Amino acid sequence: MKVAVIGTGYVGLVSGTCLAAWGHDVVCVDKDAQKIAGLQKAVLPIYEPGLADLVESNAAAGRLNFTCNLAEALAGAALVLIAVGTPARAGHGDADLSFVYMAARELAPHLETGAVVTIKSTVPVGTGDVVEKIIGSIRPSGSFSVASNPEFLREGVAVRDFLDPDRVVIGVEDERARKALMDLYRPPLEMRGTPIVVTRRRTSELIKYAANAFLATKITFINELADLCEEVGSDVGELALGMGLDKRIGASFLNAGPGYGGSCFPKDTLALLRTAQDHGVSLRLVEETVTANEARKRRMALKVIDALDGDVDGATIAVLGLTFKPDTDDMRDAPSVPLIETLQRFGANVRAYDPVGQENASRLLSDVEFCLDAYECVRGADAVVVVTEWESIRKLDLARVKRAMRQPVLVDLRNAVSHGVARELGFHVSAIGRSA
């Protein structure tokens, strides 16, 4: 099947590349000529493990092409995926749909008769209806379909999530769209027994927000329990294990930490609240999740200040890991940012190291000394703070870290390193959900 993908951001690029890997003839289109020129040489605008190789091999096989020419991309395409950004509107919290609507307006004149336009971008309930109206104002109704097919990709493991998903959700209003999307997903996923949930379009749109809000709530729940564990002498890791083995609860997304960040949970929870508000419905749990998570991110600096007996003025603090999670260069809503800014306000000198996020971090943070590796970062430090659990940070040689530091204070906001080993070496350890 020929598939055109509009937008070569995170979702569009991963989806287009994986569909090509399944044997489809994919053309990815973007207005950004520089991005397209890079992609034509397999130079990726994002960091995502495994993606560069897949782009290169599928492009070489002729199944994956990149262009700025929309008409060329849409010629002969039975399926058109809209995968443009839907950022939060500043000061509003709702999703900015202008890129989605612009894509709908621009694609309409070039659409093949019978083509299925599928929205992959995360969009509020009812967006499919508007897109259908926009295209319908240019093309005869009945000559095209509009469907919803949200993505559930996690940064860092997006290729695996696409090729081997827990489920696929498709939202359709007619048989043509149902058949096209089943033809796309069923053959490669049949062997794996992956469930394909077929719903009306509006339900599919809402599933995406509901899933992200639920996961954000789950993380916030365990983070609040972590606070209680610290006070009563319990261990949040063991608590999560004991809870999570109950199949009704599930073990994943129970890792306590400094609060969730990234480009999805913060944005999507706010957009969901906005939708609920517009319809006079109150989602109190989600509201609390958003408030508690913001407060938690700000509070993490106090943990560091406490570990240094209440005073960080003039102290050197080494921050290890800056991105919102490992295996990405994404700094959006990363907990490291409010942490570092607060420490700086209290007079600390901050040194930092991240395996791939430093370039993006340097655009958000000022007066931070970025280091070449973790060991250089901790040199002369009064405290080391683990913020993102990169594999290389988990495996740090703590004896070497201690030798390089001015005083052995470890604040581990991800419980990523061995606290037993650290204590044996003489570190003062402050962790999440474990008493000192």
What does the DSSP assignment read for 44-72? -SS--TTHHHHHHHHHHTTSEEEES-HHH
Is 155 flagged in the annotation as binding? yes
Per-residue mark of binding to ligand UGA, 109-138 (x: CB under 6 A)? -------------x----------------
CA distance 287 to 120: 26
Question: C-beta of 207: minimal distance to ligand UGA in Å?
Answer: 11
Interface positions, 33-72, toward ligand UGA (CB under 6 A): none
**The one among 14, 264, 429, 431 contacting ligand UGA by CB under 6 A:** 264
CA distance 99 to 214: 27
Residue 260 makes contact with ligand UGA by CB under 6 A: yes
Interface positions, 216-245, toward ligand UGA (CB under 6 A): 219
Structure letter (DSSP) for residue 111 = P
Question: C-beta of 255: minimal distance to ligand UGA in Å?
Answer: 3
Interface positions, 151-180, toward ligand UGA (CB under 6 A): 151-155
Q: Which two tokens stand for residue 133?
A: 């109206």
Measured over the CA atoms of residue 112, residue 178, residue 275 and residue 166, the dihedral's sign is negative
Stretch that binds ligand UGA, among 70-78, 164-172, 211-219, 311-319 (CB under 6 A): 211-219
Question: C-beta of 146: minimal distance to ligand UGA in Å?
Answer: 21
Half-sphere exposure at residue 188, Cβ-oriented, CA atoms within 13 angstroms: 16
Active-site residue 68, yes or no?
A: no
The footprint of ligand UGA on this chain (CB under 6 A) covers a number of residues equal to 21
**The one among 215, 273, 301, 348 contacting ligand UGA by CB under 6 A:** 215
Residue 338 makes contact with ligand UGA by CB under 6 A: no
CA distance 353 to 360: 12
Residue of 124, 129, 116, 131 whose CA lies nearest to 185: 116
Q: Using CB atoms within 10 A of its CB, is residue 130 exposed (0-12), middle (13-18) or buried (19+)? A: middle
Residue 15 makes contact with ligand UGA by CB under 6 A: no
CA distance 209 to 77: 29
Binding site for ligand UGA (CB under 6 A): 122, 151-155, 212, 215, 219, 253-255, 257, 260-262, 264-265, 268, 324-325
Report, as residue numbers or ranges, the catalytic residues.
264
